[in-house]
Amino acid sequence: MKTLTLLLACFGFATSLMAQNFMMNPYGCEGATSLNGKWNAIIDPFSRGKAGRFYENRQAKEKSEFLEYSFEHGLRLEVPGDFNSQAPELLYYEGNVWYQRHFDVKKTEGMRQFLYFAGVSYEAEIWINGQEVGQHEGGFTPFQFDVTDLLADGTNDIVVLVNNERRVDGIPAMDFDWWNYGGILRDVFLVERATVHVLDYKVQLAKGKADTLTGHVQLAGAKQANPVKLSIPELGIEQELTTDATGKTIFTIAADPVLWTPENPKMYAVEISHGNDVVRDEIGFRTIETDGPKILLNGKPVFLKGINFHEEIPQRAGRAYSDADAAMIISEVKALGCNFIRTAHYPQNERIVRLAEKNGLMIWSEIPLWQGIEFSNPAILQKAEDMLREMVYRDKNRAGIIIWSIANETSPSDYRDKVLTELVQLTRELDDTRLVAAAFDNCRYNKETNTFFIKDKLSEVVDVVGVNKYLGWYNRFPTDPSKIKWDVAPDKPLIMSEFGGEAMFGVRGPADVAHNWSEDYQEAIYRQNYTMFANIPNLAGTSPWVLFDFRSPRRCHQKFQNGWNRKGLVSDKGQRKLAWWVVKEFYDAR
């Protein structure tokens, strides 16, 4: 079976493990047919499906023949969507689920067909008309296959085996603080393209320059030099390019774009074409750099007024996947007064990322290296590199993304330091125009000087240091917050990437008593943290944890949690807690 790993960008092919692959942008090209909708499904808790050859979806033809499985007349699941929230018995389910549907194809000579999945959690294996297509590991980035030679002219059958079991060698691993949603979580497309088509493209400002566009275009299927046209009408750019024999061209073009900012998130219509093959995108242009402890957007210092959130709709208790879901999340982010989001702890779906960008939100995008990772296992580095490539290549043209993050709350060790340092280096090789960060939860406190500090080799190699510190919740404030000092990466920007505490909406009580889970106590925590933040000289932004209450089976307080993390500024019913207004006040004053 082919094993799919990807260098994710905008267009491409599924090939063998070490190949460099690029990913189609079905949202920006013609010829994309949605395969969303109701799919048939079989729950397979004892993993009998492969032995039973479910992937063949056979039908009994002889009187004496019978089959011990059937996709029809049984469970139907919405795609996109997690299976956990679609049937009560699947709420906590981790294991195999088989998906199946039929779709029609009219094959055209000289055209290729690609099967594109925007995200399947955690592992996926795919068959077309009973024939193996390939597989993919990782639940938060897209993958695709060239299925031209497997398709029939007319009705076709697709079967997808999905498995969301947690694994010691998985990323994330066995323990993580969010719901382990399984299923075909994001869009599915069948995309028809010319044999020679635009495979990959990058159109961005050159590093540190506001007047120069640079990038590349890569054609698939090219065996000789080919013409390519790059068009940005609003900038007066109509550039005729010529690829080399491998189908690639690199360009540098003088330009004078209006720069993308949170106040004016200017986007330009960009069109890249080869003959009748056309790709369209909306792209913004901006620069992002650091100057000592400052983050510079377009050469000017910017303070990141942020918030964390999961790719989840709490009112539905399920994964977010649609434009409407993205609008609900982003509207609440904007109402809070934010200019920045941390899409913890994984690359979120493209609908959220693109809508955030259009709304002027700067973005921290992160791969799911989250605690408990088996860094001594050589396979972990390969998997992490694959996920990093997939994340960077999908979103490298998104001006809103200013930070690539390679880890969250990992414990220092020789193995961990080596793996993550290599990931930092790889990130810069893939994209040198953005900042590289990680979030740390290992700051220590010196009682004699009332100062927090960090000793972590990784903090020395990243551009931006994120600090997760739940003072007032998991740890007491060691002294009066106004007297606490910080000496953490003083020569770099520091973002308080997580802080806060839990509260049950509607519960009121003394502001100095934690165990009653009151809004008053949560509000007090926030006020104390903001008092302390005034003493952080290199503070470049804050990102409270978290926007909405979210589902987490590890949260077992039966009265106040019951499978929910209650750190949200907004309840699972959409009600704003007292702390929401504290954050709003802080951001409005910046």
Q: What share of the chain is helix, strand, coil (3-state, %, to 5)?
A: 15, 35, 50
The model's pLDDT over 136-170, given as tens digits with 9 standing for 90+, comes to 999 999 999 999 999 999 999 999 999 999 999 99
Q: What angle do CA 483, 487, 488 make, to 5 degrees?
A: 130
The CA distance from 258 to 140, in Å, is 32
The model's pLDDT over 325-363, given as tens digits with 9 standing for 90+, comes to 999 999 999 999 999 999 989 999 999 999 999 999 999
Residue 37 burial (CB count, 10 A): 12
Query: Residue 581's pLDDT is what?
Result: 98
Q: What angle do CA 454, 457, 458 make, to 5 degrees?
A: 95
Query: Residue 25's pLDDT is what?
Result: 76
Handedness of CA 15, 17, 22, 25 (dihedral sign): positive
The CA distance from 97 to 90, in Å, is 10
User: What crossing angle do the helices spanning 350-358 and 323-335 adopt, rounded to 10°?
Assistant: 40
Instruction: Select from 33, 80, 317 the least CA-distant residue to 186.
Output: 80
The model's pLDDT over 465-501, given as tens digits with 9 standing for 90+, comes to 999 999 999 999 999 999 999 999 999 999 999 999 9
Name the token pair of 389. 């490539």
The CA distance from 306 to 402, in Å, is 13
- Return phi, psi of residue 56, to 5°: -80, -20
The CA distance from 51 to 55, in Å, is 10
The model's pLDDT over 283-317, given as tens digits with 9 standing for 90+, comes to 999 999 999 999 999 999 999 999 999 999 999 99
The model's pLDDT over 503-555, given as tens digits with 9 standing for 90+, comes to 999 999 999 998 999 999 999 999 999 999 999 999 999 999 999 999 999 99
pTM of the entire structure? 0.95
CB-based contact 385:426 (threshold 8 Å): yes
The model's pLDDT over 397-432, given as tens digits with 9 standing for 90+, comes to 999 999 999 999 999 999 999 999 999 999 999 999
The CA distance from 124 to 432, in Å, is 32
Query: Residue 2's pLDDT is what?
Result: 40
Report the pLDDT averaged over residues 422-445.
97
Query: Residue 282's pLDDT is what?
Result: 97
Mean pLDDT of all residues belonging to the chain = 94
Instruction: Select from 300, 286, 508 the least CA-distant residue to 402.
Output: 286
pLDDT band, very low/low/confident/very high, at 383 (cuts 50, 70, 90)? very high
CB-based contact 193:111 (threshold 8 Å): yes
The CA distance from 446 to 350, in Å, is 43
Instruction: Select from 309, 405, 305, 322 the least CA-distant residue to 360.
Output: 305
Please give the share of the chain, as a percent, with pLDDT higher than 90.
92
3-state SS assignment for residue 426? helix
Structural domains of the chain, ranges and CATH numbers in brackets: 3-62+69-193 (2.60.120.260), 197-289 (2.60.40.10), 441-590 (3.20.20.80)
Considering only the C-alpha atoms of the chain, give the largest distance between any 2 of them, rounded to a whole number of Å: 86
Measured CA distances, 406 to 167, 306, 386 (Å)? 20, 19, 12
Report the pLDDT averaged over residues 231-252.
97
Report the DSSP pairing between strands 75-79 and 154-163: unpaired
Report the pLDDT averaged over residues 320-326.
98
The CA distance from 157 to 481, in Å, is 62
CB-based contact 475:501 (threshold 8 Å): no
Ramachandran bin of 212, using left for φ above 0, alpha for ψ from -120 to 50, beta for the remaining angles: beta
The CA distance from 337 to 352, in Å, is 18
Query: Residue 420's pLDDT is what?
Result: 97
